[in-house]
A and B are shown apart, each in its own frame.
Chain A
Amino acid sequence: MKKELIELKVNGRSHELAIEPSALLLDVLRGDLELTGSKRGCDESSCGACTVLVDGAAMMSCTLLAASCQEREITTIEGVSEHGSLAAIQKAYGDWGGAQCGFCTPGFIMTVKSLLAENPDPSEADVRMALSSNLCRCTGYSQMYEAIRSAIAAEQHSALSSTGGSTGSAND
């Protein structure tokens, strides 16, 4: 099939790409853009390892046509680290054992990102339900809950110290 030219906006950058109309977003991210953080774990839209944000909503990039994603903002795991340092959720996943083999981790982090964007202070049940889009075979999910709680606390703390600058420094 003849390739078509599309424009894809990924992690804030626009890319002009020649792709087959049947190309899946996951394959374009991993192949054409070499953003291999999103993983392929299954072939039937079940495992969530390929989860990315499309206009802020978590979606499975293995189930989207790349050409359908034009004019939409795509965020992948590579777009999560901020200013050259780990985002709170990434740091917390490392500290609390939320990642073992790490293959499912990018997908989980994207799912958590979208959860926290919508609901900054989720209940335990909210977290459990949100994570149920993604499968993990290593952790039994438990340590992820601790990581997420700790990331929320870290975010709240940094939000406090950035808004209340003077009181923050008084604590040092």
Chain B
Amino acid sequence: MTDFSIIGKPTAMVDAAEKTTGAGKYTDDLRVPGMLVGKILHSPYPHARIKSIDTKRAEVLDGVIAVVVGKDAPNPYGILPVGHDEHALALDKVRYVGDNVACVVAISESIAEKALELIDVDYEVLPAYFDPEESLKAKTHLIHDNKPGNLEKDYHHAFGDPDKGFAEADHRAEARFIANEVTHAAMEPHSTLASFELDPHTGEMGRLTVWSSTQVPYYLQHKLSLVLEMPMSQIRVIKPLVGGGFGGKSEVIPLEIIVAVAARKAQAPVKITYTREEVFWAHRGRPRTIIDLKTGIKNDGRITAVKARVVQDGGAYCSYGVVTILYSGALLGALYDIPHIQYDGYRVLTNKPACGAMRGHGTVNVRFAFESQLDELAAKIGMDPAEIRQRNLLKPPCITVNGLRVQSYGLPECIEKTVERSAWKQRKGKLPRGRGLGIACSHYVSGAANSIIRSDMPHSTVNIKIDRDGGVVVYTGASEIGQGSDTMTAQVAAEVLGCSLARVRVIAADTDLTPIDIGSYSSRVTFMAGNATLRAAEDAKKRIAAAAAKKMNCATEDIVFRDDLLLKKGSVVPPAKNDKSEEAEVTQGGASGSGRVEGQILRGSLQQKRKEEGPKEWMTFEEAVVAAIDFHGALTGTGSYAPPQEARGGKHKGGGVGPSPAYSYSAQVAEVSVDEETGEVTVHKVWAAHDCGRALNPVAVEGQIIGSVWMGMGQALTEEMIWKDGMLMNAGMLEYRSPSSVESPEVEPIIVESIDPEGPFGAKECSEGSLAATIPAIANAIYDAVGVRLHESPFTPERVLAALRAKRNAKNLNMTGGIDPTAPARLREHGGSLCFQNKGPERHALDPARSKNSLSSAGAD
């Protein structure tokens, strides 16, 4: 079946008008009667024990309704079952500057802010850890008492025989790469509104409704239930429009819990919307990652073995950390054919905001290292960088050495297409000095084959209700966060049912109305919720077909659903479709969903007339729906999806992370120029081919590819969280430099369709996989342009200039405070903050850095 009527066509998002008119409501746009404002008091210290909190002065301030502290909701929670290390508000300790200490509920924002100043907290400041390798040495003052050496988790994997692989290699390369910390910076700051209802039977506070900017309503419902000690059935989570997530809203963020606790204590609806600074503190972004990578190849370019030691600076809480560190290792596989892999991964706790999942979760930084090193090896053996990638292709269907099942594999075509479109062969190595081309590849999961909460529950479930008006309502727990989830759902339902898109209404992400779905992250929605939608629509379609077959006097399989009609196979267009008869108008009226009373009556009488006419050659969708309801009594469909057992990966410890029912593939060529006097890098164009299985909505797929490439470019060139002694120096959109339109390059998206055997209509992910290739493609292009290899991202002008000077043996200006990743302890201590070479004076009388032998700030000059 390739003759589609809905999918495969560029389609405006079903919620586009809400967004372009400003009519759509995001959480912060909502108000309920009696709603109060919450403001959170944050820790000024990176690591401190709370000796006491006195809230009396704040409580008596006029306009303050309640002040909430940790003991108001002491149950721990965390996104991973193995990482329940967070509390709504600090119980006894704060672990990063910005950690949550108390919350004021007041009648206005300014009163709440004033009240925060009146809360007296007595802290005992503790030594703090900012660098993961220093943190690992900690013996005392652990960040969490149950994590010796501040080690959240480590994994040591060997697949195949790595030593043998390296022994077989003709060439080896080994280097340290560092990718500094980046964050999502979604345009919408997190916001949550919580409201309790009074129970009519008990007269007490009963059900809780929470509106929140979340990617996963189900997880929020689950964690609220843990912390508030309420059954999940008493909690309703509604996701309004969400202004971007990129992973930053894929787990439960402190304000989501705090606001519910606050609403309970204030006995009134409360809303909290983060300031931009609080968004940066909530973070959960991509950790600073230190990668020691070794690759071996044969003279013919074949990779013999890879060894990676990865250290992630995870921040103060577990968050998704255990998953991140596993992805970093697992996704060394499934892109190329690598026979031997050794992986040692360390997720380390430090006194900074927790890192979590961010677009391309776990794979991005290691991919930067790997693709850079592969480029270096290609140069070593004099092979074209595109060719060395072609020499190492997988031969699917296959299962990789680390247990990942690969079926559809569009990588060869991706490489071919980018090489062709960028005129790689004609131009590579022939551009004027200072201008260069670089290539890199990447891949990503189409959803995780194993959910973070182990159970036999389907990952997605979808319900469809069709009523006599011919309107199709799809109920899905999948979260639209701007990626086009609702549109995809409507498209899949309409395609299966052969009805127009306008008939379909998607009700999404409301835990009272929609069945459980584990949400929008790890690029799972199209694959999993799409498959569930497809199955639900097939289920409904079966019922319609059964009733229609009776009317049409044929077998159910002989009926074709298309263009709001049911036709017998082989027949083309019903006569009514061509002349301007009443029936045709009625059909159109139904399709536009007008639902006018006259229309209903007219339709009713026509249907009655046609009913009496005897067997039919064709039926309108509405007629068929009415027939089905008359026949079955109700017309619904349900469908669910769980990844097949074969796709769930190996049995080794940690083997549950990495497997996916299908992988997307990307190849990219970047064209850059480098100003050798300033070190400034300009990206002129990126050609990005992405294998998304099948493009259900090409305009959305292209948007996701471009957006991923663009975000990768941000990480490659300008974005980085800059730390000094646990203070985030650039907690805002002014200093955290998300690229503006001026320096954003043209991106040419190239859609490659490998038609996955298990994806809905063959579709796979398209929203994350492209990101990881961009960083190394740019790094490799810089090498092509000026002959220097950057080992640390972002490639800021000072880093590029320092590398250029080092190459020329020019006077070292020490422009980067010792950028060489093999050298400076100082660099690590400050978490990539190259700006702040000089340690400032002691900040507080309590600062343990004042005592000479202190652990904190070790290594500062």
Contact = CB atoms under 8 A, between A and B. Distances in A.
Contact of B16 (A34, A94, A106, A141): A94
Interface string B180-210: 0000111111000000000000000000000
Contacts of A91: 20
Nearest to A94: B16
Nearest to A20: B110
Contact of A86 (B21, B699, B740): B21
A86 B742 CA distance: 28
Given A40-B28, A102-B24, A140-B707, A135 B187 contact: yes
B187 to A, nearest CB: 4
A94 B26 contact: no
Contacts of A101: 19, 186-188, 241-245, 481-482
Given A44-B734, A47-B187, A96-B699, A102 B742 contact: no
Contact of A132 (B187, B277, B483, B742): B742
B246 interface: yes
B189 A135 contact: no
A39 B706 contact: no
- Tell me if A's interface is mostly helix, strand, loop or mixed: loop
Q: Which of B17, B18, B20 is the most central at the interface, judged by chain A CB atoms within 10 Å of its CB?
A: B20
Interface stretch (A53-61, A72-80, A155-163, A164-172): A72-80
A14 interface: no
Contacts of B122: none
A144 B186 CA distance: 18
A86 B243 contact: no
A100 B703 contact: yes
Contacts of B31: 34
Contact of A36 (B19, B29, B187, B702): B29
B29 A137 contact: no
B175 to A, nearest CB: 30
B670 to A, nearest CB: 14
B545 to A, nearest CB: 34
Contacts of A42: 276, 732-734
Interface string B148-177: 000000000000000000000000000000
- Tell me if B's interface is mostly helix, strand, loop or mixed: loop
A68 B768 CA distance: 45
Given A30-B29, A102-B18, A102-B19, A137 B738 contact: yes
A141 B13 CA distance: 17
Interface residues of A, number: 53
Contacts of A106: 20, 22
Nearest to B28: A40
Nearest to A135: B738
A144 to B, nearest CB: 8
B23 interface: yes
Nearest to A45: B734
B702 A143 contact: yes
A150 to B, nearest CB: 12
Interface string B1-45: 000000000101101111111111110110100000000000000
Given A128-B742, A143-B706, A104 B20 contact: no
Contacts of B187: 39, 41, 47, 49, 101, 103-104, 135-138
A135 B21 contact: no
B530 to A, nearest CB: 18
A81 interface: yes
B744 interface: yes
A97 B21 contact: no
Contacts of A38: 22
A44 B732 contact: yes
A97 B17 contact: no
A37 B186 CA distance: 17
Nearest to B704: A100
B733 A139 contact: no
B386 interface: no
B549 interface: no
Interface of B: 10, 12-13, 15-26, 28-29, 31, 184-189, 241-246, 273, 275-277, 481-484, 699-700, 702-703, 706-707, 709-711, 713, 732-734, 738, 740-742, 744, 746-747
Interface of A: 30, 34-44, 46-47, 49, 76-78, 80-81, 86, 89-91, 93-97, 99-106, 109, 128-129, 131-132, 134-144
17 contacts: A41-B276, A43-B275, A43-B277, A49-B187, A86-B17, A91-B20, A95-B699, A100-B703, A100-B707, A102-B241, A103-B482, A106-B20, A135-B187, A137-B738, A139-B706, A141-B741, A142-B706
Given A42-B733, A138-B703, 6 more contacts: A36-B28, A77-B22, A78-B21, A101-B186, A106-B20, A142-B746
